[in-house]
Amino acid sequence: MTNTKKRSSVIGRGLSSLLESPETDITTKSDLMGKYVAGSVADISVSQIEANPFQPRDQFDEIALEELAESIKLHGLIQPVTLRKLGFDKYQLITGERRFRAAQIAGLKEIPAYIRIADDEQMLEWALIENIHREDLNPIDIAMSYQRLVDECKLTQVELSQKVNSKRSTVTNYLRLLKLPDLVQKALKDEKLSMGHARAIAGIEEHDRQIRIFNLILEKDLSVREVEKLTKETAQEKTKKPKSKTEVPYKIVEIKKILSDRIQAPVDIKYRNKGKGSIVISFKSDDELNKIIARLK
């Protein structure tokens, strides 16, 4: 099994559990004609279905749609779309817009649909979650959908991780990508930068340092491990506190000058806290040393 298939399977279960959750499964007995029970699957006329106004996806691969339409002509629409009931003979797509469009191209008059009752907030939430499940999304698109769920659906990161069936740390890592400089986000969208590289850069707070490391990645083709090491060193460099220098009293400066003049040699006084220190006298030869000793006597 490939990573893509595994990812789709895991996230797909998250969406399914959301749509089938008893907490949100509001059902009705029947419509005015005694048909199409909410909470079950029914064949719905394509003309009675409206597009999802909350659909974040506005572009569809035309070739892929044609191929799906051909498959639908041969085998029919096997997987039902999900609709919300707006009223008598009026429905709105929740999930499955790609299948709905392909069914229209294939000329289907009716399609199987799972009917639900949902409010606008649920519609937005489900549309965003379905969008996250797409295999062709780049990390920034996923991050933006996560952020919309947080902002517009008022979800905490814990609630969001449960909705999309992911770890909270995974959700957090995606959301941090949106704080990266624009050129780093663009490189990630254009697949010039991996998710691992971007996650490492996001661990640095300073905008300038993020760009500097990003440029190093492109110039030297650094691996993720190398970038992680580099960002760790950068963080340590930032937290390293400079050693505080003890201020040398004026009298020590004067003593240093007097001693140097008296013995006619370079003198250095190391002054530490609480009056401790040392005096260092420099000389270049035995002859100079003997002269210094004579002057000291």
In the sheet that holds 110-116, the strands lie side by side as 41-45, 110-116, 81-87, 90-95, 49-50
Is-contact 290 279, C-beta < 8 A? no
Specify the amino acid at residue 84: R
Catalytically annotated residue among 97, 135, 159, 205: 97
**Residue 82 burial (C-beta neighbours within 10 Å; 0-12, 13-18, 19+):** buried
H or E segment and range at residue 92: strand 90-95
The token pair that represents 244 in the structure block: 């505080």
**Residue 21 burial (C-beta neighbours within 10 Å; 0-12, 13-18, 19+):** exposed
Residue 97 annotated in active site = yes
**Number of other CB atoms surrounding residue 219 within 10 Å:** 8
User: How big is the CA angle at 55 (ends 53 and 60), to the nearest 5 degrees?
Assistant: 120
User: d(Cα 78, Cα 52) in Å, to the nearest integer?
Assistant: 21
Positions marked active-site:
97
